[in-house]
Amino acid sequence: DAEITQSPRHKITETGRQVTLACHQTWNHNNMFWYRQDLGHGLRLIHYSYGVHDTNKGEVSDGYSVSRSNTEDLPLTLESAASSQTSVYFCASSGGTSGTTDTQYFGPGTRLTVL
């Protein structure tokens, strides 16, 4: 069965360190998204990609970067982790084409703590 996975599921790091969160999907979806979820803020879009070599900034992109070298993976990098980046991170993918927005399938999430 197709799925979307994230690793690690839990991560504790220190302020200033570089951290990379992995996201891998086997749906063969063109569209991939990274969100963070914090109490009181719901899901906030960090970065997204509509295909290989395409990346776009979301509403809370400062301090984060992504790259898309293949269809299956969209790693999220925190260049210099800050305590404000402590959150739960969700990766999602969708197969929307021709201007339509399709269902998003979410990974299980990564709980990141920055000390």
What residues contact residue 56 under an 8 Å CB cut-off, 6+ apart? 47, 48, 49, 50
Decide if residue 41 touches other proteins (CB under 8 A).
yes
The smaller minimum CB distance to other proteins, of residues 15 and 98, is found at: 98
Is residue 4 exposed (0-12), middle (13-18) or buried (19+ Cβ within 10 Å)?
buried
Stretch that binds other proteins, among 11-19, 62-70, 77-85, 93-101 (CB under 8 A): 93-101
* Whole-angstrom distance, CA of residue 31 vs CA of residue 87: 23
Decide if residue 1 touches other proteins (CB under 8 A).
no
- Which tokens sit at 88? 């739960």
Which residue of 19, 23, 25, 31 would you call a contact of other proteins, by CB under 8 A? 31
* Whole-angstrom distance, CA of residue 73 vs CA of residue 111: 19
Decide if residue 27 touches other proteins (CB under 8 A).
no
Residues that bind other proteins (CB under 8 A): 31, 33, 40-43, 45, 48, 50, 58, 90, 94, 96, 99-104, 106-109
